[in-house]
């Protein structure tokens, strides 16, 4: 594994406090995967096989509404986790899709190897607690924003906190994520820039 990939991975898992002798074992559990733009990484109805950490690219997690339109639930990008976590952990078919919006390089770990980390290194329980706490609070914060902020306020808040990688993905995905029509998103983008 190249040094930049090692750095991203170790930085993401810094709360696990791996000692240098544990790092080699840890790093050997990960495999690199590449996906083309618009390629499905995980399809609804399938079981998620990996927990990913993103090296390059942007991915969207979404479901399809009754009309067949994509409803974007979130994004992943360099240095962040990716995958369909509930399907991965419970080994049940996913309700959502994971798609590479840009060409993507991901490091993935299998479920059995992921679980072995918690058995071999007690500090992974601390990491897991913090990770899922962040996921939960992030979801709650997003729900509050969707329910209490106007379209303009949601747009402004998102653009202030989102990384550059997300600002270049297709408008329809950002509009869906912000729960607005693409025309509204486009109008707000013109007004604010």
The answer as to whether 131 is a domain residue is no
3-state SS, residue 149 = coil
- Residue 24 in any domain: the answer is yes
CA-wise closest residue to 118 among 52, 26, 1 = 26
pLDDT at 20: 84
Residues 6+ apart with CB under 8 A from 181: 175
3-state SS class at 35: strand
Query: Is residue 53 in a domain?
Result: yes
State the Cα–Cα distance between residues 50 and 68, nearest whole angstrom.
Answer: 26
* Domain assignment present for 127: no
Please check whether residue 96 lies inside any domain of the structure: yes
The CATH number that applies at residue 77 is 2.60.120.10
Q: Which of 49, 141, 62 lies closest to 100 in space, CA to CA?
A: 62
pLDDT of the residue at 64: 95
Could you tell me the pTM of the whole model? Answer: 0.90
Note the pLDDT of residue 41: 98
Q: Across-strand partners of 35?
A: 104
Question: What is the number of structural domains in the chain?
Answer: 1
pLDDT in tens, the chain (193 residues): 899 999 999 999 998 888 888 898 999 999 999 999 999 999 999 999 999 999 999 999 999 999 999 999 999 999 999 999 999 999 999 999 999 999 999 999 999 999 999 998 888 888 998 999 998 998 899 999 999 999 999 988 988 888 776 777 888 999 999 999 989 988 988 887 6
In a domain, 182, yes or no: no
Instruction: Examine residue 170 and state whether it is found in any structural domain, yes or no.
Output: no
Strand (E) or helix (H) holding 62? strand 58-64
Angstrom distance (rounded) from CA 135 to CA 141: 10
Q: Is residue 141 part of a domain?
A: no
Question: What is the domain extent for residue 86?
Answer: 3-120
pLDDT at 18: 85
Closest CA to 110 of 43, 53, 30, 41: 30
Q: What pLDDT does residue 165 have?
A: 67
């Amino acid at each position: 594994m190249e040094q930049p990939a090692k750095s991203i991975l170790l930085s993401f898992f810094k709360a696990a406090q791996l000692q240098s002798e544990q790092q080699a074992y840890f790093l050997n559990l990960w495999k690199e995967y590449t996906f083309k733009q618009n390629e499905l990484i995980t399809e609804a109805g399938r079981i998620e096989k990996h927990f990913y950490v993103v090296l390059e690219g942007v991915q969207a997690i979404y479901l399809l509404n009754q009309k067949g339109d994509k409803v974007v639930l979130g994004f992943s990008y360099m240095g962040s986790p990716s995958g369909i976590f509930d399907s991965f952990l419970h080994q049940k078919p996913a309700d959502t899709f994971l798609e590479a919006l840009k060409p993507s390089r991901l490091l993935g770990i299998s479920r059995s190897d992921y679980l072995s980390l918690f058995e071999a290194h007690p500090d992974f329980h601390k990491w897991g607690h913090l990770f899922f706490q962040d996921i939960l609070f992030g979801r709650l914060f997003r729900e509050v924003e969707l329910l209490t902020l106007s379209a303009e306020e949601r747009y402004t808040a998102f653009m202030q906190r989102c990384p550059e990688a997300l600002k270049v993905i297709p408008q329809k995905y950002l509009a869906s994520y912000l729960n607005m029509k693409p025309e509204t998103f486009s109008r707000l983008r013109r007004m604010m820039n």
